[in-house]
Amino acid sequence: MEQDMVGKDGIIIKDGQVILNSGEKLSIENLIEEASRIRFISNQHFKDTSISILESSRVIFENCIFENVVFENCDLREISFKNHTVIRNCTLRRCNLNGTLFYDSHIISSIFLSCQMKRPFLENVSEMSACLFKKCRMHDIFFPLPEFQSNKIIGKLSECTFGSKTQKVEKLHADLSEAHLTFVDFLLCDLTETIRPEDPDILYIKNLSERSKKAQEKIVNIQDDTKRRALSIYTESWMNEKYVDYFMSRKDYQWAWDEHFKDVAKCLELDWVLD
């Protein structure tokens, strides 16, 4: 006789197995074993010490303080810093932060050197200020405003987003003078007090959504149907009110807009030298 099924939040428990939304089956024994491997460390103060060659561990730090701690060659992919944890005056050197979770935590006056940073979860960080990121591999990161402030980035950022979480325009106080931006998004950002990239291919654009709306008025008068459709597609995506100030890379959009690059740049009144 078939055993009873218990279903909750899309997860089914049947015949001693947990059936996930994806259809993947995991025995209850394995589920308990996996959970037991997670170690919770709470209310600890780590100060003036070094941690090196830390292997991948499933550790959750809650309400801890890290002060003047050096992390070197550490695998932090399955580490979580949560619930009022403070990281202050620390150095992380050649650490793997891919997917590391920072939730309701404070990262202050710390240095990240040559770290791998693919999609660390910073969206719900409480504060990230006065930090230096130097020669890190930064990819697919959401930097929340106003929590992310007064930081400096040296090196490449690709497919990252600086965005307001308050649904209003927020100032980005950051030094991006030595940052190399590749398809980086700025949502509801006021960049007037941002130290701009020195890269001459990066253009500072004010009121991008307004420029896009004006561009649409020009495009409707273009006689060539193919050209009109292409220019409309390439410019209308910027009409959203969330696009206020923006740093745009010429190299990125010369590739993205291809043969229509000069025409799109002209419609948006971008001040690149179009050679």
The total number of structural domains in the chain stands at 3
Q: Are residues 97 and 192 in the same domain?
A: yes
**pLDDT value, residue 10:** 47
Query: Nearest CA to 179 among 135, 146, 129?
Result: 135
Indicate the SS3 state at residue 38: coil
Q: Are residues 70 and 152 in the same domain?
A: yes
* 218 close to 235: Cβ distance less than 8 angstroms: no
Per-residue pLDDT reduced to its tens digit, 79-126: 999 999 999 999 999 999 999 999 999 999 999 999 999 999 999 999
AA identity, residue 197? P
Distance CA 156, CA 248 (A): 14
* 52 close to 73: Cβ distance less than 8 angstroms: yes
Mean pLDDT (the chain, rounded): 86
Per-residue pLDDT reduced to its tens digit, 161-197: 999 988 899 999 999 999 999 999 999 999 999 999 9
Residue written as tokens 């037991």? 36
H/E/C letters for each residue in 145-187? ECCEECEEEEEEEECCEEEECCCCCEECCEECCCEEEECCEEE
Q: Are residues 22 and 91 in the same domain?
A: no
Q: Are residues 189 and 214 in the same domain?
A: no
Domain that holds residue 240: 206-275
Backbone dihedral angles phi then psi of residue 218, each to the nearest 5 degrees = -75, -40
Decide if pLDDT at 18 tops 60.
no
Q: At what angle do helices 208-219 and 225-236 cross, to 10 degrees?
A: 170
Domain of 166: which CATH number?
2.160.20
Q: Are residues 63 and 191 in the same domain?
A: yes
Q: Are residues 125 and 192 in the same domain?
A: yes
Domain-terminating residue out of 155, 181, 199: 199
Kindly report whether the global pTM for this prediction surpasses the value 0.85. Answer: no
Q: Are residues 274 and 177 in the same domain?
A: no
Per-residue pLDDT reduced to its tens digit, 217-237: 888 888 888 888 888 888 888
Can you read off the two tokens belonging to residue 97? 């932060």
Can you read off the two tokens belonging to residue 268? 């948006």
Give whole-number Cα distances, 150 to 32, 36, 125, 165, 205, in Å: 43, 39, 15, 17, 21
Q: Are residues 16 and 78 in the same domain?
A: no
Side-chain half-sphere exposure of 76, counting CA atoms within 13 A: 28
Q: Are residues 17 and 61 in the same domain?
A: no
Give whole-number Cα distances, 244 to 182, 191, 236, 239, 240, in Å: 18, 9, 14, 10, 9
